[in-house]
Amino acid sequence: MAILHTINGPEDVKALKPSQLPALAAEIRSFLVTNVARTGGHLGPNLGVVELSIALHRVFSSPRDSLIFDTGHQSYVHKILTGRHDFEYLRQENGLSGYPSRAESVHDVVENSHASTALSWADGIARGIQRDHRKAHAVAIIGDGAMTGGMAWEALNNIAEDPDRPVVIVLNDNGRSYAPTVGGMVRRIDAVRKMDAVRVNRSYERALEWGKHTLQKSGLAGQITYDALRGLKRGVKDIFVDAGIFDSLGLKYLGPVDGHDIEQLEEALTMARKYGGPAVVHCITEKGRGYKPAEEHEADRFHAVGAIHPETGLPLVPSRFGWTSVFAEEIVEIAQADPAVVGITAAMLLPVGLGPLKKKFPDRVIDVGIAEQQALTMAAGLAYSGSHPVVALYATFMNRAYDQLLMDISLHGEPVTICLDRSGVTGDDGASHNGMWDLAIAGMIPGIKVAVPRDEKRMRELLREAVATPSPTIVRYPKGSLPEELPTVRKIGDLDIVHEHGGESQPIVLIGYGPMAHTMVEAAQQLTDYPVMVIDPRWAIPANEGLVNICAQARCAITLEDGLVAGGVGMGLQQLLAQNLVHTPVATLGIGKEFLHHASRGAVLHQQGMTVSDVVAAVQALINN
């Protein structure tokens, strides 16, 4: 790391000789593989933007120029070039975030981990630059997968209205998000990507030669700047290759540029910077570039990794059978029996477990790209037409389509099932990726039902019940491996009693929603001096009427949910009890109304007071009071 250890900020990157840059790129790739292999993280996307990140910091001046990464998982190289070399605890408590973080550096502008937002940020920042009459640029580095999101096109529409707005859009085009990018817009970009590179390069060279000739005639030889070329119609026409959709908006387009050629990148980015108005630089990059396992196998395997062997790319600890795998198996079985079932994914076919369904029924899985709003409203239309759509999303991404869930699906009572993977505390991906808002969101929506399975058996049962329900349903389940089966001791109506001891007279009632029932059973086993009943309601929303009678006879009740306490299912139960004039003391445990710093799931649960000892303490507090 002879060069890398000298890089403590962008000024050090600018000071390097061009001949040193390939060696720096090689050192960065080695650094990434060594460190991300140890901690886990987004490896493939960052290997693909090494040269691009170097060129950005040589052409622009951060933090005067704002660099906005969309999505932020491609910012590891940016972190390195801005002096953050300590990757030992990447994505771990007190270590570097896996996304840009304002708390870490002035060079991190947007903590951007949800896609398709960078162009809107850039538009707003650029307007502020104009208002202040500053000489600066807003630079949005947007992956081509994020261009499938509608918000990106809303921003483009606004950016294009002002020919002087200081915005540079760097389209990082590797043909993928989590998987191959889809959609008609992307096909247009793809067509540009596949243009004859020789023709493009020759046009570029002809334009420069024309510029040189004109400058020599004007006595400015040796001062070839884009400002001079800008007024030359012939040169501009050849440099800014026709890019269809961008040209139609009046945006200047440069490319396609080899995203692994620093010299080409610097030239194109410099032109864009000096142009004086909105410009698009289209860079062709390769996900996983320079890492043999990614180049020889499917690059998407290395989009995000756990701890892996750095040379082979194989996981150090084999993955355990998890919640997503159960969904993947069961939805295929359900679809075989019910031809109305259609799977929908928002650019995450494999991460959410719809791959097997796509393989079995290729025409019954729809990938809408990074467009959750489109996914839900299209699902409403499919349901109206007689299908039963099953929309599989990460829980955090459903937040983006709240209006569609409320006004398109629920208002119309359409039978759509939404399966929320990685619900609750996910931990190391940080504040934006915890799936902690969905229960509170769903609790505000009339007519929706939410199931929360506690183990594999209940996952399969509840998924089938949800798909069979002729109204909107949600099934939520956490990230990671499955817990041991927690059998039902007996049932009271629709409620599962999963543990009880000490008799039925004034029991302490512990209500654990889904996987939190396991925590409640462990707590009950420590409360040996009292009669205790542990309940898993299975369906968390709406609040089960059967809990009213049980809680009315209880000494006290504790609820534990892997979601927000404020507006959560525990508070929903409290409201139901109050409506029925039940005054049993109730304590609700769950996640506080705050953004959670990245840490392990266990550490976050401890911080939020959601452990076995916290449940026991809550019981003692109610009894003592």
C-alpha 508: how far from its chain's center?
Answer: 40
Helix (H, G, I), strand (E, B) or coil at 597: coil
Residue 96, φ and ψ in degrees, nearest 5:
-65, 145
Does 146 show up as a binding residue in the annotation? Answer: yes
Q: Could you tell me the two tokens for 313? A: 């790319």
Q: Which helix (H) or strand (E) holds 307?
A: none
C-alpha 220/C-alpha 463 separation (Å) is 72
Does 372 show up as a binding residue in the annotation? Answer: yes
Do residues 438 and 476 touch, judged by C-beta distance below 8 A? yes
Do residues 342 and 366 touch, judged by C-beta distance below 8 A? yes
Q: Which long-range contacts (CB under 8 A, 24 or more apart) does 496-501 make?
A: 496/458, 496/535, 496/536, 496/537, 496/538, 497/533, 497/534, 497/535, 498/454, 498/534, 498/535, 498/536, 499/524, 499/525, 499/532, 499/533, 499/534, 500/531, 500/532, 500/533, 500/534, 501/528, 501/531, 501/532
- Cβ neighbours for 377, distance < 8 A, ≥ 6 positions apart: 404, 408, 409
Supply the angle between the helices 323-337 and 456-468 in degrees, to the nearest 10: 40
Q: Which helix (H) or strand (E) holds 182?
A: none
C-alpha distance from residue 73 to each of 19, 51, 327, 562 (Å): 29, 16, 26, 25
Residues in the chain: 625
C-alpha 469/C-alpha 449 separation (Å) is 9
* β-pair partners for 280: 169, 253
Does 598 show up as a binding residue in the annotation? Answer: no
Does 388 show up as a binding residue in the annotation? Answer: no
The catalytic residues are 287, 372, 400
Does 505 show up as a binding residue in the annotation? Answer: no
Does 132 show up as a binding residue in the annotation? Answer: no
- Cβ neighbours for 141, distance < 8 A, ≥ 6 positions apart: 49, 52, 56, 67, 68, 69, 70, 74, 118, 170, 172
Q: Which of 569, 617, 612, 609 is nearest to 425 (CA)?
A: 609
Q: Could you tell me the two tokens for 173? A: 């085009």
Do residues 558 and 521 touch, judged by C-beta distance below 8 A? no
Beta pairing, strands 66-70 & 473-476: unpaired
Encoded amino acid at 210, one letter: W
Do residues 112 and 142 touch, judged by C-beta distance below 8 A? no
Q: Could you tell me the two tokens for 185? A: 């817009």
Q: Could you tell me the two tokens for 446? A: 């009339």
Q: Which of 465, 464, 453 is nearest to 540 (CA)?
A: 453
Does 115 show up as a binding residue in the annotation? Answer: yes
* β-pair partners for 389: 342
C-alpha 240/C-alpha 233 separation (Å) is 10
Does 319 show up as a binding residue in the annotation? Answer: no
Beta pairing, strands 532-536 & 508-512: parallel
Residue numbers in the known binding site are 73, 113-115, 144-146, 174, 291, 372
Annotated binding site for thiamine diphosphate: 73, 113-115, 145-146, 174, 291, 372
Enumerate the known binding-site residues for Mg(2+): 144, 174
